[in-house]
Amino acid sequence: MTIRGKAFIAGVYEHPGRELPDRTLPQIHGEVAAGALADAGLTLADVDAYYSAGDAPGFGALSMVEYLGLDCTYIDDTETGGSAYLVHVQHAAAAIAAGHVTVALITLAGKPRSGGAGPGGSARFSSAPEASFENQFGMSVPGGYALAAARHMHEFGTTSEQLAEVKVAASTHAQHNPNAFLQDVVTVDEVVSSPMISDPLRRLDCCVITDGGGALVLVSEAVATSLDRHCIPVLGTGTSIKHTSGGRIDLTHTGASRSGPLAFAEAGITPADIDYVSIYDSFTITVLITLEDLGFAKKGHGGRFVSDGALQSPGGVLPFNTDGGGLCNNHPANRGDMTKVVEAVRQLRGEAHAAVQVPDCELALAHGTGGSLATRMASATLVMGRSL
């Protein structure tokens, strides 16, 4: 059974705050839930399914369903880090297609900037079975991505200047987003001259750390047709786990090489059909390798592909992250895929900022990476359309 066209994204919301010391995690979850439901024209009373991940406090979905006052017959606490909310979209769409769910609510909230869990903290890395074998060597989050960047540079001749093009595109878009954490446009020279964090990645190659959150509302076709709202159909999804293979890991590719083809096949399209992409940009190297693995550029050609404004909107070959992405706009709870879906929906509805709106945007892709490019990851890909 395919889920193509069986579920629709009716509501999206991104919290406007980037530093929220006066909010609790449950409050942020509640605020984004209310925002997404209002965007859809629905209420908490309409929700019959709730989805959360490791950022949800207490007993996760159990605690949040009570806090929000929901009457649910379906809950899901799947945790895959920065791809969890795209996995939730897949799960919710499948449940809707099977007739188990009519209105699904997915929420994200975090406070890493004002004292909450830091990068990786909410994913319980320290209790993972591999922790005792890997942590003693001092692996850090930036260090893992730097390993992937260094390997890609070694094998394919990718340069720091090419990685910097990803940041430049993100900053060019972020200047038009009044809520973006970083709103100044930067140049390639400024990126490559910023302080080194983990060779070869510099400070401007790294994403921001922000408080905040976001939410999505998925509905059945029957509910979608009853709403006075442009609902975005889910056309294809794909999820893939890539692990270390007993130490025989290839640092130059990600799980997107499997999740992407699955999503494209279900949607019945190819990468060439996509008008806009939202790619999890934890680091500039994440975007470059992901674009290759999704089929937008040949393996090893990502550096050339992102150069010369290719990712900028409007006018670029493949506009990406028009809200500024995790590199400039927002990275709530250190999880970047929720906001990727939100901005993709804005583009398909024609509601992105006029300066970055992709003309005639018919098909959009969102992709999330959970884990690390250097070890294990869960990759999730979502294809959406303006219409069926």
Tens digits of residue pLDDT in 309-324: 999 999 999 999 999 9
Residue 122 has pLDDT above 60, yes or no: no
pLDDT at position 1: 76
Per the prediction, the chain carries an average pLDDT of 95
Note the pLDDT tens digit of each residue in 179-191.
Answer: 999 999 999 999 9
20 has pLDDT over 80? yes
Confidence of residue 137 (pLDDT cuts 50, 70, 90): confident
DSSP 356: T
Rounded-to-integer distance, Cα 320 and Cα 338, Å: 15
d(CA 384, CA 237) in angstroms, rounded, equals 9
Note the Cα 76 to chain centre separation in Å.
Answer: 18
Which helix (H) or strand (E) segment is 49 a member of?
strand 49-51
In the prediction, which pLDDT does 130 show? 75
Report the 10 Å Cβ neighbour count for 10: 26
Say what the pLDDT of residue 126 is. 67
* Centroid of chain to Cα 249: 24
Q: What is the pLDDT of residue 244?
A: 87
In this structure, what token pair is assigned to residue 377? Answer: 């990851």
Per-residue DSSP letter, 176: T
Pick from 287, 290, 294: nearest CA to 271:
294
Model pTM score: 0.95
